[in-house]
Copies of this chain bind each other. A is one copy, B any other.
Amino acid sequence: MNEDTKIWGLGIGPGDPELITLKALKILQAADVVAYPAPANGDSLVRAIAAPHMSGSQEEIIISTPMVTERYPAQDVYDKGAAEISAAVEAGKSVAVLCEGDPFFYGSFMYLFARLSESYSVQVVPGVSSLSACSAELALPLAARNDVVSVIPGTIDADEMERQLLAANTAAIIKVGRHLGKIKAVLEKIGATEKSHYIERATMENQRIVALSDLDDESAPYFSMIIVRRNGEILDQ
């Protein structure tokens, strides 16, 4: 641990509280202040994942994110959060920012990092990503040997999604949400439905796995993923 570091982005893992690393756990428990995002009208999921490891006596900074489906919080949310974290550091405190999964894998921590890392030493502690969690829970190896793996947001348009899917051996489609119908249509078009596996809330208590061909839902929760093993090398071995 860098003695000069006062700000950490902590990967807390995908959902199971036991999937936190020893390093993140130590920093979490030693920090003066714990910061985390929370929706304006609800509980913070990442705070809930970390809760079994917290004494409850630490100061907390809540980065309130008025997230609307498919829109991103305005960047002033991160201006405000960064200002609060800066104020804590200037008062001599250390701050651990909780991040679901891995901080730099589609995480909003990068916006705080961009604001804080010019003035302070900010360290990122990598965590178990949703990608690794989904692969493990599906019992589906992601890649071997010369396979190319692509992570594709479900938000991109159908033509681009098709192009990306055809270029990769394994694809992980994230941010499924209300794009489920579009995604299913693209997978059907390229003949990959039978090779696609749907999982939501991996490693959480309400985890759910459904073969894509059996999935009748019209939309999916935020924490869902479709893994497509189109033509990889694993099964040839």
Q: Which residue of B111, B153, B168 contacts A147 across the interface (Cβ within 8 Å)? A: B153
- Chain B contacts of A133 at CB under 8 A? 126
Bound form: Cα–Cα A117–B234 in Å: 15
The answer to whether residues A136 and B103 also contact, given A148-B150, A153-B146 and a CB cut-off of 8 A, is yes
The 8 A CB mask of A85-116 against B (1 = contact, 0 = none) is 00000000000000000111111001101100
Given A18-B22, A23-B18, A136 and B126 contact (CB-CB distance below 8 Å): yes
- With A151-B143, A155-B146, A168-B150 known as contacts, the answer to whether A19 contacts B132 (CB < 8 A) is no
User: B128 to A237, Cβ gap below 8 A?
Assistant: no
Instruction: Decide if A199 is an interface residue (CB 8 Å cutoff).
Output: no
**Complex Cα gap A18–B20 (Å):** 11
The reply on A75 being an interface residue by CB < 8 A is: yes
For chain A, residues 1 to 50, give those with C-beta under 8 angstroms from any C-beta of chain B.
11, 13-14, 16-23, 25-26
Tell me whether A190 is interfacial, beta carbon within 8 Å: no
Does B104 contact A141, Cβ atoms closer than 8 Å?
A: yes
Please indicate the chain B residues that have their CB under 8 angstroms from the CB of A113 in the complex: 139, 141
A94 to chain B, nearest CB (A): 17
A149 to chain B, nearest CB (A): 4
Q: How far is the CA of A138 from the CA of B182 in the complex (A)?
A: 35
By a CB distance below 8 angstroms, the chain B residues around A146 are 153, 155-156
The 6 closest A-B pairs by CB, nearest first: A126-B132, A110-B141, A18-B23, A124-B136, A126-B136, A102-B132
